[in-house]
Homo-oligomer: A and B are copies of this chain.
Amino acid sequence: MKTYIECIACLVKQAVEISKLHIPKDSQDPFIRDVLVRISSMDYSKPPPVMAAEMYSMIKGLTGITDPYEEIKRYYNEKALTLYPELERLVADSEDPFETALRIAVAGNIIDFGIGTKDSIQIRATIETALKDRFAIDRIHELRQRLTDARLVLYLADNAGEIVFDRLFIEQIGAGRVVCAVRHAPIINDATLDDAEDAGLINVCRVISSGCTAPGTLLPLCSQEFKDIFESADVVVSKGQGNFETLNQSDRDIFFLFMTKCPVISREVGVPVGSFVSLHHDPGL
């Protein structure tokens, strides 16, 4: 997906918020000036995560802080883990454990600090809504069918905390055939191998780094190992907006599961903001 002008306003807002949190007061103005100049010359045909990655790398260079969201990620991994036993029972007791677990995994996508703030992230309420509401785009049936005889499933994770809920769904898919890919290094609150460990995901399925340090999956930046699995997997399940933004023009078919949390993505897929989406991107169609 290209970077729209609305994304630029959002990137500047993120730059301002992150600099207030992590950059010394007298370096904030020069940092923002620098961000503005860089955004002014970026290639808008590239997806927004490219610029987000550059921005966070500037922060790293300025402050030496490699993981500004470390504490927040730990908080949400722990918070999600406290909900886990209850949700596990809910899935097991439900009429359709596969769909219940999928819905919970999509609800977990609310934990997104690229857009949300701690106050706006209501996990329990979002799960309740996701369990009963109609998906604005619903390819759950198609995904279920495709998974039936899949031998290798690549699962692209998105955020810390959210991956605890992904665990539930991965267990429903059949963890033995799932490879879950996380970001190569900390970026916003996206999940890394450390988070996969905190969330207990590494005990459930094979977890690899995608090799990508942007908040999405930019294939040219991904590791050869990842690219091989991406190409050979029978099914690719992709979580979150960042992965959608970077892969929605991919040559291969992908099932995108996410919540639409901004007007741009909502417009891109043609649904209202705040929708639950299971979308099948199929370039062969």
Binding site for B on A (CB under 8 A): 5-6, 8-9, 12-13, 15-16, 19-20, 28-29, 32-34, 36-37, 39-41, 44
**6 A–B contacts, CB within 8 A, in A order:** A6-B16, A9-B13, A9-B15, A12-B13, A33-B40, A37-B37
* Pair B9/A9 contact, Cβ less than 8 Å: yes
- CA distance in complex: A12, B29 (Å): 15
Closest B residue, CB atoms, query A31: B5
Chain B residues in 8 Å Cβ range of A36: 8, 12, 36-37, 39-40
CA distance A48 to B28 in the complex (A): 17
In the assembled complex, the Cα of A52 lies from the Cα of B9 at a distance in Å of 15
Collect the chain B residues with CB atoms within 8 Å of residue A8's CB: 12, 16, 32, 36
Residues of B within 8 A of A28 (CB): 5
Residues of B within 8 A of A34 (CB): 40
A4 to chain B, nearest CB (A): 9
Q: Which one of A12, A28, A44 has the greatest number of beta carbons of chain B within 10 Å?
A: A12
- For the complex, would chain A's binding face be called helix, strand, loop or mixed by DSSP majority? helix
B9:A29 contact, CB within 8 angstroms = no
Contact between chains at B13 and A13 (CB < 8 Å): yes
- A17 to B, closest residue via Cβ: B9
- Report the bound CA distance from A34 to B29 in whole Å: 19
- Other A-B contacts than A5-B16, A6-B20, 8 sampled, CB-CB below 8 A, are A5-B19, A5-B28, A5-B32, A8-B12, A8-B16, A13-B13, A36-B36, A36-B39
Report the minimum CB–CB distance from A141 to chain B (whole Å).
37
Which residues in B have their C-beta under 8 angstroms from that of A33? Answer: 40-41
Measured CA separation A37–B34 after assembly (Å): 10
Chain B residues within an 8 Å CB radius of A32: 5, 8, 40
In the bound assembly, the distance between CA atoms of A102 and B238 in angstroms comes to 56
A9 / chain B contacts, CB cutoff of 8 Å: 9, 12-13, 15-16
- A13 cross-chain contacts in B, Cβ below 8 A: 9, 12-13
Q: Are A20 and B37 neighbours in the complex by a CB distance under 8 Å?
A: no
A51 CB to closest chain B CB, in angstroms? Answer: 12
In the complex, how many angstroms separate the beta carbon of A28 from the nearest chain B beta carbon?
A: 6
A44 / chain B contacts, CB cutoff of 8 Å: 29
CA distance A16 to B5 in the complex (A): 6
Chain B min CB distance to A276 (Å): 24
Which chain B residue has the least Cβ–Cβ distance from A33?
Answer: B40
Q: Nearest chain B CB to A278's CB is how many angstroms away?
A: 30
Q: Give the residues in chain B near A41, CB-CB below 8 Å.
A: 33
Q: How far is the CB of A115 from chain B (nearest CB, A)?
A: 14
